[in-house]
Each structure stands twice: as C-alpha cells, then as structure tokens.
Structure 1
Amino acid sequence: MNELDFSGKQVFVVGGSSGIGNGIAQAFRKKGARVAVCGTRAKASDYAAEGGSRLEGIDYTRLDVSDPLTIESFNPYFDRLDVLVLAQGAVIYQRGEFEMAGFRKVLEINLISLMACATKFKPMLQATKGSLIIVSSTAAFHATMGNPAYNASKTGALGLTRTLAQAWAEDGIRVNGIAPGLVDTKMTKITTDNPKRLQEALSRIPLKRLGTPADMAGAALFLASPLASYIIGQTIVVDGGLIL
C-alpha cells in the first residue's frame, strides 16, 4: 500500500493559483488526486504570465476570499472533498498594515477567511472523514517588523488550527497546519530581489537556502495521508531551521 497515493481523492486548495498553494496543488495532482484551486482572477489563463503559477491538469475557479459573503455563496462543482488546503495570504509592505484599512484587509484574508472557508466546507470533509490543512507562517513565532497584521493573522492561524482540530476530531476531520519559513514566491520578492536582504536572510537559515513550494508540499502530503492518521492540531514548521 502506498500511503501517499491520492488516486480517487478530491483536493481543493484555496489560494492554489500561485506560490505555496500552487506547489501543494501540483504535488497532490502528481500523486493521483483530482485537484481544484481558486484565485482572484477570472480564469486560469490570466496567470499564464506568472512563472510561479502552474495550472495544467488542475481545475480553476474564481473565489475572492476577502469577501465572506462570496465564500458563503460559493457553489463548488465537486460533490465530495477529501482534503482542503487553506493557503490564501496577503501582506502589505511600507507600513501599510499600521493603517486600520490595511490591517483589516490583511486580517480578513489571512485569518477571517480561514474560518469562513473551514466552516463552508466542513460538511463535505465530515462526509469523507477528510483532512484540513491551514498554511500559516513562522512569523507566528517571532516579531515581524513593519507587518503587524500579517504577524497577528498568522499567529491567529496557529490558534485556529489547534482549536478546530479539537472541536472537529469527533466529526472525523483531522485539522493540522504548516508554518513555512522564507519561501521563494512573489510574496517574498521584497527580500529575494534585494541581494543584501537575501544574503542576511540566508545567513539565518542553517540549510543556507530558500524554501520552495515543493518543500511545503511534502509536509502537506504527509499531513493529509494515513501516515498522519493520529496527528491533529499540530503545525509543522518547514523553514530550513530559520527559527532555531
């Protein structure tokens, strides 16, 4: 038996149109799952110009998670769900999160929408005894200068992961999380495109390299598999040792 074979399983990755979510979506597809992702753009081809987005073999649907009413009214095309990955994320640089409008915007996407999506799809996950995986960040374990909303939301995501895991275990739903470190995506270009900042960041990572979406995908595959059947409420740090 191959515990990492997801043939016949339906996976939905919110925020799977790019970055970490996209890497996780492709990993499940390669392991046999039927995978759907959502993003904010009208159609999959709108992401064609972005080198980090690979949507071949994946079903794309538009869903703007910044609007709770849109999540509530969302009508998925799939009639079953085995794995739900919540990988949506936003950050505002240049101290924009110190303005209340910016603070609320980031919290709405990074935290409020997690609960909205989790409760939206809970009945489907309960029907399959499925798995919910919440992507947070190592920012939850330390301060992040200039980004109070990002930090607060990712810290909140860890608490939500623990609490939903406890609450929903009796329904057969396993809830766990992943806390990525510095991963090479469009969201981290403020660091990766700046040679000085990049070198400083790499000096703090024992493995001396950036993480990749594929690195995060390995943890997601494990958590959704029978190999993790007795694990709930845990957030696995996948950071190359950054927070050591």
Structure 2
Amino acid sequence: MPEMPDTVPQPESQHRVRIAAMGDMHIGRSASPGVAQAFARVREAADVLVLCGDLTDRGTEDEAQQLSRDLKSVGLPIVAVLGNHDFEAGLSQQVARILSDGGVYMLDGEAIEVLGVGFAGIKGFGGGFGRGALGPWGEPVIKAFVQEAVDEALKLETALARLRTPRKVAVLHYSPVRGTVEDEPPEIFPYLGSSRLEEPLNRYPVDVVLHGHAHGGRFEARTSGGVPVYNVAAPLLLRRDPAAPPFHIVELAWTDPAATP
C-alpha cells in the first residue's frame, strides 16, 4: 500500500481584486463631463476606486459637494486621500467630512481593509529626494518644512503597521520616489515628493504604491525595495492615452487555503 502523506492538501480559495486609481481631478463647483464619464466607466473595469488627492481645485465645500455627487455613479467602494489643492481654502476637514458622509473612505494616517486588500493612506509632503533632500538645519521655517514630511512618513508607517491583509496598497498624493517625478522641471522636484515617504515602505513592504501630484512626471517607477510605484495623476494618464479614461487598473490576486469543513 502507498504511504499516507504527512499533510492532506486543503481546498484553496482564489481572490482577485481590480483597483482603479486616479488623482488630480481638480473638481470645480460645476460638473465636469470628462470626470463624470470616467467615473461611469470605472464600475465596469474595477472592484475598488482609489483617488490620490487634489480631488478639488481650491478645496471649497461647494467643490467637495460636487465631487460627492459625481461619485454617486461609481457604485464601488472608494478610498481616497487629500492633496495640496484640497487645503487651499483652509477647509480640508470640511472637504474630507463631505466626502466621508458621501461614503468615501478618507485616509489620513489610517488603514482600512476593502475586499481583502489593505489600504494605508496619507497626503504626504515635499522635501526632495536622495542626496538632494532638504535637511532640518538652519531657520525654524526650514525645520518645520522638513518636520511636516517626517510627520507624514510616521503616519504612513503607523497605518502600514496595522495591516494584516495578504495584499497591501499605499495611497499618497506626493511621490515617495524620484522616478515618477522625472520629466518635471528639476527645480520643482523638492515640491513633488520626499524620500522620507519611502522609508516606511521599505520597513513595511506593500504590493503597490499609488500617488498623483506630478502632472508632468513619469507613470511608473520602483522603490529601492523593488515595489512598483504608479503616478496616476489624471493629466499624465490622459497624455499617455488620450482615448482611454483617466484611471489606471491594478489587479491583485492571491490564494487562501479554505477552512477545513
């Protein structure tokens, strides 16, 4: 008789989640037909929508309410972070509240699980990359500028540390790597992101990083740990393919052993 195996194979459960990511819609007070059409097409292509900041143009309550109305056609779970434009009017908390009341999961140092995928989100901040990163030395205003990036990185680290899901996604507005801001004028690199935002991603690896902000940057790069980073700013996506809707689809798949009957 054949020997019995030491372990008995268990049935497996297959999972697949499609994430549509876009940023920098810059919604104004009136409806934007292009954005509305993109939102209407998301439902056919994805299971979750991720919005990477600059949701509004000037950060007013009217703009946030317009965006909330536009998002009603999506019919999917929506995860979002704010961007710098959403702070312009000094009403960022109100903007976040309006969108949250409309059913959007607003992240600012928090983590959430959607369809088995963990999302950790922050706005992020600038400061530059690598050897060109601004250091906390000199005038108090410089130290405060650098501290903002440090604080955002700490918020991201806290959120990532909470995730226990098999697949993980980091959502930002500012870039954590230089690669996706290349092709922008070098003079503005320090305002497009910060290497400090990459540090938590190396300590708590994720499957993919999504951000916006760099309209003239590059679509794809990688962290120093090899994690793919996508710049999903809508103007950049439209420049890559004017005929396609301004969102990028990331598909995550995994297999879980099913529970023993």
Tell me, yes or no, whether TM beats 0.5.
Answer: no
- The structure whose residues are more often helix, as a share, is 1
TM-score range with shorter-chain normalisation? 0.3 to 0.5
Q: State the TM-score, normalized to the length of structure 2.
A: 0.39
Larger Rg computed on CA atoms: 2
